[in-house]
Structure 1
Amino acid sequence: MASSSQGPVSTTASTCAAETARGRHTFVVAGYNLHRGLGAGKFIRSATFYVGGHGWSVRCYPDGHTSKESNQDFVCAYLELMAGTGAAEVRAVSDLRLVDQLTGESKVLFHPAAPRAFSGESPVWSARWFIRRTELEASTYLREDRIVIECNVTVIVTKQEAEPQTPCEIIPEEGADVAFKVQEETFRAHRVVLAARSPVFKAELCGPLRERNDGGVIPVEDVHPGAFRALLHFIYTDSLPAMDDLDGDENREIVKHLLVAADRYAMERMKLVCASILSRRLDVESVSTTLALADRYSCGKLKDACIQYIISSNSMDEVVASPGYEELKRACPVATVELWEKASKSRKIVHAEQLERVLDQTD
Structure 2
Amino acid sequence: MSAAGHGRLSRSASSIVARPVNGFHLLRIDGYSHTKTVLPGQKLSSQQFTVGVHSWRIDYYPNGSDAAAKPNAISVYLQLVNHTHQHLQVQARYKFSLLDHAGVPAYELPFETGSFTSVPPQYLNGVMVNEEQGPVCGHEEFIGWEDLERRELLIRDDSIVIRCDVGVTQIDESWLAHEHQGDAEDDEYSEEDGYGYSRRQRRPHRRPDDGEFVRRCLAQQPGVIGYHL
| TM-score, length basis structure 2 | 0.64
For the Cα contact (< 8 Å) 2:90–2:117, is it kept in 1?
yes
Question: Is 1:142 aligned to 2:155, yes or no?
Answer: yes
Tell me how far 1:61 sits from its aligned partner.
0.5
SS in 2 for 1:40: coil
Question: How far apart, in 1, do the equivalents of 2:18 and 2:147 lie?
Answer: 39
Greater share of strand: 2
Residue 156 (structure 1) aligns with = 169
Tell me how far 1:40 sits from its aligned partner.
1.1
Question: How far apart, in 2, do the equivalents of 1:221 and 1:28 lie?
Answer: 41
Residue 351 (structure 1) aligns with = 220
SS in 1 for 2:23: strand
Question: How far apart, in 2, do the equivalents of 1:24 and 1:91 lie?
Answer: 16
For the Cα contact (< 8 Å) 2:74–2:142, is it kept in 1?
yes
1:33-84 per-residue CA deviation (whole Å, 9 max, x = no partner) reads 1111211111112222222243322211010001343x73220111122331
Question: Is 1:129 aligned to 2:93, yes or no?
Answer: no
* 1:157-236 equivalence runs, <5 A: 157-160=170-173, 164-167=176-179, 171=180, 227=191
Question: How far apart, in 2, do the equivalents of 1:64 and 1:139 lie?
Answer: 19
Question: How far apart, in 1, do the equivalents of 2:219 and 2:162 lie?
Answer: 15
Tell me how far 1:350 sits from its aligned partner.
4.6
Q: In percent, how many aligned pairs have the same letter?
A: 23
Change (3 A) 1:109 1:223: closer
Question: How far apart, in 2, do the equivalents of 1:17 and 1:72 lie?
Answer: 46
For the Cα contact (< 8 Å) 1:58–1:80, is it kept in 2?
yes
* 1:301-340 equivalence runs, <5 A: 315=212
For the Cα contact (< 8 Å) 2:193–2:199, is it kept in 1?
no
Residue 18 (structure 2) aligns with = 18
Letter in 2 for 1:351: Q
Tell me how far 1:13 sits from its aligned partner.
8.1
Question: How far apart, in 2, do the equivalents of 1:78 and 1:60 lie?
Answer: 7
1:108-143 per-residue CA deviation (whole Å, 9 max, x = no partner) reads 22521x353342362632211211222112212233
Question: How far apart, in 2, do the equivalents of 1:223 and 1:28 lie?
Answer: 38
Residue 83 (structure 1) aligns with = 82
For the Cα contact (< 8 Å) 2:114–2:137, is it kept in 1?
no
For the Cα contact (< 8 Å) 1:109–1:131, is it kept in 2?
no
Letter in 2 for 1:127: H
SS in 1 for 2:191: helix
Q: Who wins on radius of gyration, i.e. which is larger?
A: 1
1:199-242 per-residue CA deviation (whole Å, 9 max, x = no partner) reads xxxxxxxxxxxxxxxxxxxxx99779x83765xxxxxxxxxxx7
Residue 34 (structure 2) aligns with = 34
Contiguous gaps of at least 5 residues in structure 1: 172-186, 195-219, 231-241, 257-282, 288-309, 317-342, 359-363
Residue 272 (structure 1) aligns with = none
Contiguous gaps of at least 5 residues in structure 2: 4-11, 121-133
For this pair of structures, how many residues does the alignment match? 197
SS in 2 for 1:84: coil
Change (3 A) 1:251 1:21: farther
Change (3 A) 1:51 1:223: closer
Tell me how far 1:16 sits from its aligned partner.
4.5
For the Cα contact (< 8 Å) 2:79–2:116, is it kept in 1?
no
Question: How far apart, in 2, do the equivalents of 1:100 and 1:223 lie?
Answer: 44
Letter in 1 for 2:150: A
